[in-house]
Structure 1
């Protein structure tokens, strides 16, 4: 995989999976000391109906907040 940086921070190492709302990658945090590995999920809903975007964004944000509280992010 060619070197790809998401958000100017996360160096993508390999894809882990994808689903209806996004893609998940194993990445390296280039802005954290030691460049630790992490998991990055990129919101990319495959929706034909743009009115669903607000709900997709809300659910994506909620998932990130829950994972952060659990210490997974």
Structure 2
């Protein structure tokens, strides 16, 4: 996924970490001046079991909705996009 351009906007530059339901990457927002860095979270469950996929997707969606509802705060990540 390194150097890949996601959503024609976010250029993945480095791997940040991984967990049970996905991986996180450092990316550059190529559509903003100065290409500020951001974090991209990629849903990638460790199992292809249908139940696990369903739970992972639900948790991923729930996290995005919660971040969107929280708005902006210096202690909380800001949701920039969901795709």
Q: Distance in 2 between matches of 1:51 and 1:20?
A: 14
- Following TM superposition, by how much is the alpha carbon of 1:46 offset from its aligned partner in structure 2, in angstroms? 1.0
Which one has a larger percent strand, Structure 1 or Structure 2?
1
Alignment partner, residue 59 of structure 1: 59
Worse-matched range after superposition: 58-67 or 40-49: 58-67
The two structures have a TM-score, normalised by structure 1, of 0.79
- Give the RMSD, CA atoms, in angstroms: 2.1
Q: 1:38 to 1:51 in 2, by over 3 A?
A: same
The two structures have a TM-score, normalised by structure 2, of 0.71
Q: Distance in 2 between matches of 1:2 and 1:55?
A: 27
Of structures 1 and 2, the one with the larger relative CO (CA 8 A, separation 6+) is: 1
Count of equivalent residues: 73
Alignment partner, residue 40 of structure 1: 40
Alignment partner, residue 10 of structure 1: 10
Q: CA contact under 8 A between 2:2 and 2:14: conserved in structure 1? A: no
- Secondary structure of the structure 2 residue equivalent to 1:35: coil
Structure 2: any 5+ residue segments left out of the alignment? 79-83
